[in-house]
Chains A and B, each alone.
Chain A
Amino acid sequence: MDQARIRNFSIIAHIDHGKSTLADRILELTEAVSAREMREQVLDTMELERERGITIKAQAVRVSWKGHELNLIDTPGHVDFTYEVSRSLQACEGALLVVDAAQGIEAQTLANAYLAIENGLEIVPVANKIDLPAADPDGTALEVADLLCDDPARVLHISAKTGDGVSDVLDAIVERVPPPAGDPESPARALVFDSSYDQYRGVVAFVRVVDGVFSTREALRTMATDTRFDAEELGVFSPAMTPVQELAAGEVGYVVTGLKDVSRLRVGDTLTSVRRPAAEALPGYKDVKPMVFAGLFPTDSDDYPELRDALERLKLNDAALVYEPETSQALGFGFRCGFLGLLHMEIVRERLEREFDLDLLVTAPNVAYRVQEKNGGLVEVHNPAEFPREIEEVEEPYVDASIIVPKEHVGAVMELNNDRRGAFGRLEYLSPERVHLTYELPLAEIVLDYYDQLKSRTRGYASFDYDLAGFKPGELVRVDVLVGGEPVDALSLIIHRDFAYERGRALVDKLREEIPRQMFDIAIQAAIGSRVIARETVKAKRKDVLAKCYGGDISRKRKLLEKQKAGKKRMKQVGAVEVPQEAFLAVLNIGQGGEGKR
């Protein structure tokens, strides 16, 4: 295909603003698939997923429209994957910005729109759902035009649901989005914007060819990680995987690599030919590192091997997921897992529970810390239990947070952010009613219940997004919880000094409620180093006898004791103290309500 007739675009939209409906309409309208085929295809895919326990992604679809080749590149829909989104956007020259005309712009839309603008994409704004009675297409158009410094008249009014205006969208893509600019004669370069793992064919890379031409069977290498392989098959999604002999500059398609490990082919890396390599990699590759960590433990310790296998399989398809074995005296054998963010964590947890039928216990998430030890080097700590006691300085990750909220809730949002050690950035009016606020916040302050708090304080109206902004030093301390003088590893936490007392107190109080009285006094303490900041005592039982025990009672009393004994065996032993697993759960749930649900 003539490069001038290619258009590569993606769709930016907030969840539920109609991205997939619009994509479906585009496929139908361009006759890529019939409505019936589409349903069947979806079903097929799901069956495959069920069979293999992995997700087969169809991340890019090629359609034809009035003599042009249009490549729709899907973007991951969530904030944790900003980097992946940015790579997907880098593979395009244009983006449809879809806004629900009844809802207006949301923070997530805004974040991705800015990303698109930063990547130099031509934005085609679309006000969707104009068929809804509550729709305000003109108001939405003004808001969007204001954001883009564009003419409101250029905002398309459509209903993806009814199909109204969809052909105008396709026309606008052809007219407004520029063709790819790469050089077909230069050494070949392609951007890896996503990948997936196929049990039989290995890693499949999704690529956008920028310069030159790639051919089947050619020896290739990645420029950042220097992974080498032969292109076993090249192809395009139309929308099924269809082999082609060549992928040329401007085109979007896939490369079957035969690699067995998805982490060897990272999103954002540049593919080039071994025989005639490009001199320079495409810009923007980042080695994405997990920022949020949590311990995952099977509720039934017998399920540990299943959890290990499940993580191995998930990892095949999710290069961002990292994990290593962790042993907790309180929770047994499990894994400390690293995630890109809360949503990523929630997705992994959900997939483990749903696809692998595991019952999991997830510890309160924490972030990555960079610790300068007193007499040592710089270490990155992912687990509060491993936080060094003697420290010179600690750095914690910060995010640039973006919040959009009706103006009457601005005060509530500011208050929340102040409570969470936020630094105010700027405030701007998107419309007379809606305000965009930016804050710099420690990531640690949003991994707990920030989003829930934000929603409840704004009666559900706030939308929120964030982007990692690097590390900064902080007044952080490690708080340990001791039961009967023994530290309980699973309950250690890293927290800002100002909040340590309050949090330690809450933990200690909760544990006192949850730990049953035993045959001796149990001290429950929260401590920073050797300094105890909160203390409670579970008083020893003064009596525990079965009152009557005569001839007729013996069997029943024996069974009672046997039950009591069995109950003891299910308890977790912390030193001499028996702690029911429920106690740990209750404590881990402090301030953890609904993390990452958005």
Chain B
Amino acid sequence: MSGSARHLYVHLPFCAHRCGYCDFVTVIGGRGQDAAYVDALLQELELQRGLLGDEVETVFLGGGTPSFSILPDLLRLLDALPPAEEVTVEANPETVTEELARALRRAGVTRISLGAQTFSPRLLHVLERVAQPEDIRRAVHHLRDAGFDNISLDFIYGIPGQSAADLEADLGHALALEPEHLSCYELEAKPGTRFTHVWGAELAEQADAMEDYFERVVARLTGSGYRWYETANFCRTDEDGRDLRARHNLAYWLGRDYLGLGIGAVSTIENRRWRNTPRLARYLEALAAERLPDREIEPLDTGVRARERVMLGLRLDEPLPVGSLRSALDASGVARAEQLGLAVDGGETLALTRRGRFLGGAVTAEILA
């Protein structure tokens, strides 16, 4: 029996501390529940295995803070997951020890995504991050020593109090570590979060001053030889010809099917998308009883999938093949975007111009049917 999903996401929700800006499904502390949670994940994998293809291309362990999990449980999980060409684990710098790095490498992990966010102690404090700048550098060195040749750093810009000089300094520090991959996100002050409550007003005040930070990030990184291959993602263009794009994430952007395991995890397979319950106790209870967890199911018709294909595909630097997606496009919107120099309609393909990519959201809203 073989399903269509060749990409597997596994959610590890535990964190030492919930950062103010975070809106992911996380569980703070949870020491002592790791083993039970991993058991549940493996049970869910067992129940859902039929949805996975014969070969799994990518596995991604995200969080939470996967590296916060107790190592033996983490290794047990990695061992039980299907083998894949790309196996990524997210980690927070302060959790990366020599031992962890070596263990992950031995367990077949090929790629580490490190949540650096910023090198400024002051801004790390604003973000409520536990790590210090030296933790980031030390983590990278441990990973390199363990043999990792594909490291991604996550950065956040537009932090309250972050000057343009702070941003440039951050990028400089990041480039000095020569990561294969960088993800740079503008800080989103999501309504209702503690962070927005504390910093919302200051952020709004700085909005104008920070307007060009995105442009600065792109200019600096592309100027340093990185490829701006997705709205918020950059990869080194390697001398040895390796494609250093995040393959797992690329699968999302190409509209592929994927299976997600764990609390709050989302799966998209053919004409259905579902999200597991975000409640840990209910999740554990269901799987202990060898039942699938509660989930919210969203049917996806072909029209929706086509629109998503456009929305996601236009985030990439490669032209989007639109041969079968025309029904998802608003022809007059496409024409307008072209006229404004934001998109190029090549007939078979549609691509955003450089400026179009900075306005990707608005352009997509313009051209979607």
Residues of A participating in the B interface, judged by any CB pair closer than 8 Å:
518-520, 541-552, 554-555, 557-558, 561-562, 564-565, 568, 576
Contact = CB atoms under 8 A, between A and B. Distances in A.
A561 B266 contact: no
B368 A549 contact: no
A562 B310 CA distance: 12
A552 B361 contact: no
A174 B252 CA distance: 95
A542 B358 contact: yes
B311 A548 contact: no
Interface SS of chain A: loop
B359 A543 contact: yes
Nearest to A568: B365
Going nearest first, the 7 A-B pairs with the smallest beta carbon separation are A544-B362, A564-B365, A552-B266, A547-B185, A544-B361, A543-B214, A545-B360
Contacts of B315: 549
Given A542-B358, A551-B9, A551-B268, A558 B311 contact: yes
Contacts of B360: 544-546
B268 to A, nearest CB: 7
A509 to B, nearest CB: 18
A518 B312 CA distance: 22
Contact of A551 (B186, B258, B298, B342): B258
Interface in B235-272: 249, 252-253, 258, 260, 264-266, 268
A197 B340 CA distance: 58
29 contacts: A518-B362, A519-B337, A519-B340, A519-B359, A519-B366, A541-B362, A542-B212, A543-B186, A543-B215, A543-B358, A544-B360, A544-B361, A544-B362, A546-B361, A547-B186, A548-B232, A549-B253, A550-B249, A550-B252, A551-B9, A551-B252, A554-B252, A554-B266, A561-B364, A561-B365, A561-B368, A564-B361, A564-B362, A564-B365
A377 B186 CA distance: 63
Given A542-B215, A552-B260, A561-B311, A547 B359 contact: no
Nearest to A542: B211
B49 interface: no
Contacts of B185: 547-548
B188 interface: yes
Nearest to B364: A561
Interface in B336-369: 336-337, 340, 342, 357-366, 368
Given A545-B358, A547-B186, A557 B215 contact: no
B294 interface: no
Contact of B359 (A544, A552, A554, A565): A544
Contacts of A518: 362
B43 to A, nearest CB: 21
A544 B336 CA distance: 17
B18 interface: no
A216 B193 CA distance: 81
B142 interface: no
A561 B340 contact: no
Nearest to A560: B361
B304 interface: yes
A542 B214 contact: yes
A555 B188 CA distance: 18
Contacts of B363: 519, 544
